[in-house]
Amino acid sequence: MGSTALVAQEKGKPNIVLILADDLGYGDVGFNGQDKFTTPHIDQLAREGMQFTQFYAGTTVCAPSRSALLTGQHTGHTYVRGNIGVKPEGQLPLADTVQTFAALLQQVGYRTAAFGKWGLGPVNSTGDPNKQGFDTFYGYNCQTQAHRYYPSHLWHNKEKIPLMANGEREHKEQYAPDLIQQQALAFLDDAKRGGQPFFLFLPYILPHAELVVPNDSLWKKYKGKFPETPFHGADYKKGARVGGYSSQDYPHATFAAMVSRLDCYVGQIMTRLKILGLDNNTLVVFTSDNGPHQEGGADPVFFHSNGGLRGIKRDVYEGGIRVPFVARWPAKIKAGTVNPFIGAFWDMAPTFLEIAGVSRQQLSSDGLSILPTLLGEKQKKHDFLYWEFHEGGGKIAVRKGNWKGVMLDVDQGLNQHHMELYRLDTDRAELKNLASQYPEKCKELFQLAVQAHQPSHLFPFNYEQTKQ
């Protein structure tokens, strides 16, 4: 019996919860080896579901990774391929011609909501979450605003919600992630009463950017546990810079407390699903938007946040794009499974749509449905995976099987002879460049990269601007 037929037998369409951490590294969770702090609730997801060891983000920074996730297209095709801010608040918007899987879920009766950070278009733009498939949005529309954990305001759909106790970033009273979590839990309560299937997107901002948490038990658990070098930043005061990072005397303890807080949020979501009787018929996916960051005093080296992989956020080496990934669905997924399937964010759209009974033909996607993998059935494999990044001189990565090619300085032009080559099954840390030994493999991967890259007038590499 095929995957779609099996799911269709269920009474009522399954709910979907997608939890997206912000800048959480591959090694920042217990099930991937983190031992300086604990993530018991996230680890429980892994024990009760399927843990993927070779799953990748859309790319290595926020907005394009999320664009790849929601559109089902890799960064050689997806509309947003970089972080570009627009005034007065927000990022370059998704176009009205872009189709997200959330919008297709809406069309087949799913109630859709997002709570957290958006970053794909200002309120009232074509990229407004209400215009891109979400009935409800609450949180930060702008990722620059999301650098601050005690902001002056959040957004509820098109309504600006002032956080009066915080002033204009003068005071630290209303911790935005806690407010967002309250709204997410309330959504689950209301969804239970409503009775229709739902897609809940939780793009949490933890543990991104500035190192700040409330002075509560989670913080006290780690204070004094680690060696500390204070970070001096842009503190909360009248007129403080929107996108700044505040000072922190205990950056290591604070980072650990932030990940622990994220873990508690995951635990609260899972507990609420069980209390409401929604647990068995809900697919929960947990992952991160890219590798670990080092802004604001964060120290991925100390925490081994990349899990022994090379690179961090803004790299297209494994540490910048390989992310923790867990799928849990008690009615369907065998607990305690560890899966080496090589997949990426653009697989989520076809997977969720197949689960909801939506024809794949309704979405132009580079992804594969991984529903067969989740159900323990035979799974089609990717021919290759592709990433591009439009900062730091331009970067491209392509993976085919166990081989991975990396090209830097792409702004100067695509050049096969600039490709680095790694064999990931024997060198997951990408330490040994094999390009000189396997020129034909470099040629093959280079041709795949050329094939995958569709030029964008919004996000051209410098050599493409020169041609124009």
Question: Where in the chain are the domains?
Answer: 13-381, 386-467
Q: Are 166 and 172 in contact (CB under 8 A)?
A: yes
Name 436's Cβ contacts closer than 8 Å, sequence gap at least 6. Answer: none
**Around Cβ 183, how many Cβ atoms within 10 Å?**
17
Read off the tokens for 71: 């559109």
Strands 385-389 and 395-400: antiparallel
For the entire predicted model, the pTM comes to: 0.96
pLDDT at 88 exceeding the cut of 80: yes
Under a CB-based contact definition with an 8 Å cutoff, are residues 25 and 292 in contact? yes
Give me the mean pLDDT over the 323-349 stretch.
97
Asked if pLDDT for residue 398 goes beyond 80, the answer is yes
Written as one letter, the residue type at 461 is F
At 412, give phi and psi (nearest 5°): -80, -10
Phi and psi torsions of 353, nearest 5°: -70, -40
Topology of the domain covering 13-381: Alkaline Phosphatase, subunit A (3.40.720)
Mean pLDDT of 189-210: 95
Confidence (pLDDT) at 299: 98
Question: What's the pLDDT at 179?
Answer: 98
Amino acid identity of residue 356, one-letter, is: A
Per-residue confidence band for 123, with pLDDT thresholds at 50, 70 and 90: very high
Which pLDDT band, with edges at 50, 70 and 90, does 466 fall under? low
Residue 17: the pLDDT is: 98
Structure confidence at residue 239 as a pLDDT band (50, 70, 90): confident
SS (H, E, C) the chain: CCHHHHHHCCCCCCEEEEEEECCCCCCCCHHHCCCCCCCHHHHHHHHHCEEEEEEECCCCCHHHHHHHHHHCCCCCCCCCCCCCECCCCCECCCCCCCCCHHHHHHHCCCEEEEEEECCCCCCCCCCCHHHCCCCEEEEECCCCHHHCCCCCEEEECCEEEECHHHCCCCCCCCCHHHHHHHHHHHHHHHHHHHCCCEEEEEECCCCCCCCCCCCCHHHHHHCCCCCCCCECCCCCCCCCCCCCCCCECCHHHHHHHHHHHHHHHHHHHHHHHHHCCCCCCEEEEEEECCCCCCHHHCCCCCCCCCCCCCCCCCCCCHHHHECCEEEECCCCCCCCEEEEEEEEHHHHHHHHHHHCCCCHHHCCCCCCCCHHHHCCCCCCCCCCEEEEECCCCCEEEEEECCEEEEECCHHHCCCHHHEEEEECCCCCCCCCCCCCCCHHHHHHHHHHHHHHCCCCCCCCCHHHHHHC
**In the predicted structure, residue 7 carries a pLDDT above the cut 70:** no
Banded model confidence at residue 8, pLDDT cuts 50, 70, 90: very low
Whether 102 shows a pLDDT value over 90: the answer reads yes
Residue 292's pLDDT band (cuts 50, 70, 90): very high
Mean pLDDT of 280-292: 98
Return the pLDDT at 12: 81
Mean pLDDT of 428-437: 98
Its CATH architecture, for the domain 386-467, is: 2-Layer Sandwich (3.30)
Crossing angle of helices 251-275 and 40-48, in 10° steps, is 50
Distance CA 158, CA 76 (A): 31
Mean pLDDT, rounded, of the chain: 95
pLDDT of the residue at 89:
96
User: Virtual CA dihedral for 141, 144, 149, 152, nearest 10 degrees?
Assistant: -70
How many angstroms separate the CA atoms of 369 and 189, rounded? 30
pLDDT at 2 over 90: no
Q: How confident is the model at residue 467 (pLDDT cuts 50, 70, 90)?
A: low
Candidates 310, 367, 324; CA nearest to 53 is 324
**Nearby residues of 342 by Cβ (< 8 Å), 6 or more positions away:** 54, 55, 56, 381, 382, 385, 399
Cβ(350)–Cβ(380) below 8 Å: no
Quote the pLDDT of residue 362: 85
Q: How far apart are CA 204 and CA 22, in angstroms?
A: 6
Q: Which of 319, 302, 313, 298 is nearest to 209 (CA)?
A: 298
CA dist 266 and 389 (Å) reads 30
